[in-house]
Each structure stands twice: as structure tokens, then as C-alpha cells.
Amino acid sequence: MKNINKLLALAFLLIGSITFAQTGAGMDKIKSLKIAFITERLNLSSEEAAVFWPVYNEHEANLEALRLEERNEIRGRLRNFQNMSDSQIQNLMGEFLALQEERNDRNIAFLKRMTNLISARKTFLLIKAEDDFKKRLLQQIQKRRQ
């Protein structure tokens, strides 16, 4: 437990030095910290890690592609929201809902696959680890802004 706390303290001190603009280096550093955090929390065997990380990385890449599509295709067009017709807004809403459905479908498929690969218990540990990492990252960002 002390090792986890030391690792977390070090990780979040390092985060304090990161510029949180979405630069490649800053995002890579956050991803590295997230990987270390998840690795520590899940305590995967070498066999589990060998099957876990390729599937996890593929899932993260798929979600990132969906985020980029949403940002570029949906949110970019929303800047001109006031000048859009009702039918344009309706079409945009359809695209947005389709992306949300795709994200949900991918998450469900990922969780089912993980349950088969590393167990339901460790899959829940993964969900909790990701949530805990996000909370701590946001806390660090808030502290930095004060």
C-alpha cells in the first residue's frame, strides 16, 4: 500500500509540471502515468498483462477516434448553432446520438471481452482504477489553478 501511495504521489507531482494543453508530450506523459496507475491497481500476472494491454490499447485508440470525430464533426459545427435550421440541427443530433451509441456499444464489447480475459473482479478493478485516476488528475488540475 505504501508503494502505491509513493507511486501516486510521484505521479501527481509530475503531473503538476505538465502543461495541460493537449500537446503530444503532455498527453503522452498523462497516458504513461495512467498505465502505471492501472498496472499497480490491477496487479496483473504476466499472462494476464500479455492479453490485457493489447486489447486495452486498441479500445483506447477506438475511443480516441470517436472523441476526435465528435469534436471535429459535431462540436465544430455547433459553433454556428444559432444560424442552423431545425433540420440541420436534427441531422446533427442524429449524428451525435449515433456516436454516443457507437461509444456505448464499444464499451460494452470491451467490458465483456475483458471479463473473459482477466475476470469480472479485475474488470471492475479496471473501471475503478480509471475513475480514480480521472478524479486524481482533476484534483491536480484544480490545485494547479489555485
* Contact indicator for 117, 21 with CB cutoff of 8 Å: no
pLDDT at 53: 96
Average of per-residue pLDDT across 89-114:
96
* Predicted model pTM: 0.76
Average of per-residue pLDDT across 79-97:
91
pLDDT at 22: 52
Residues in the chain: 146
- Which of 50-54, 70-74, 136-140 is least confident? 70-74
| Stronger pLDDT, 71 or 23, i.e. the higher one | 71
pLDDT at 20: 43
Query: What is the C-alpha separation between 75 and 81, in angstroms, rounded?
Result: 10
* 55: Cα separation from own chain's centroid: 14
Confidence of residue 17 (pLDDT cuts 50, 70, 90): very low
